[in-house]
Amino acid sequence: MVTLEHYLVLSALLFALGIAGVMLRRNLIVILMSLELMMNAVNLSFVAFSRYLGSIEGQIFVLFVMVVAAAEVAVGLAIAVAVFKQRGTININDISLLKW
């Protein structure tokens, strides 16, 4: 029997993986993918709660999140392309001009 806890644990694991990816990786595209992973972890918990509570709202919300995520990826990738064109790298440790 797959209970709510299973879903939530999976969601938490995925989220943690996403955080680790964002924190540890240096490639901008990988970071974007990790962000996507975190978002999907959240989506998973939304759907799980929706099913558990018998309410449709969580699922509607997931649709919204997916739309936003698509937009965010589009913008993020465009930035990545632009940065690469400008500086020849997408290593975020090399992209640190905005500081004192």
Site of interaction with other proteins (CB under 8 A): 19, 22-23, 31, 92-93, 95-100
Closer of 31 and 62 to other proteins (Cβ): 31
Using alpha carbons only, what angle is made at residue 45 by residues 39 and 47, rounded to the nearest 5 degrees? 100
Closest separation in Å from C-beta 12 to other proteins: 12
Closest separation in Å from C-beta 45 to other proteins: 15
Closer of 2 and 23 to other proteins (Cβ): 23
Closer of 63 and 68 to other proteins (Cβ): 68
Closest separation in Å from C-beta 23 to other proteins: 6
Using alpha carbons only, what angle is made at residue 70 by residues 68 and 72, rounded to the nearest 5 degrees? 70
Closer of 27 and 59 to other proteins (Cβ): 27
In the beta sheet, which residues pair with residue 63?
A: none
Q: Which two tokens stand for residue 8?
A: 């939530």
Would you say 90 and 76 are in contact if contact means Cβ atoms under 8 Å apart? no
Listed in sequence order, the residues at least 6 apart from 31 whose beta carbon sits closer than 8 Å to its beta carbon are: 21, 22, 25, 92
Closest separation in Å from C-beta 22 to other proteins: 6
The conformation of residue 27, written as its DSSP 8-state character, comes to B
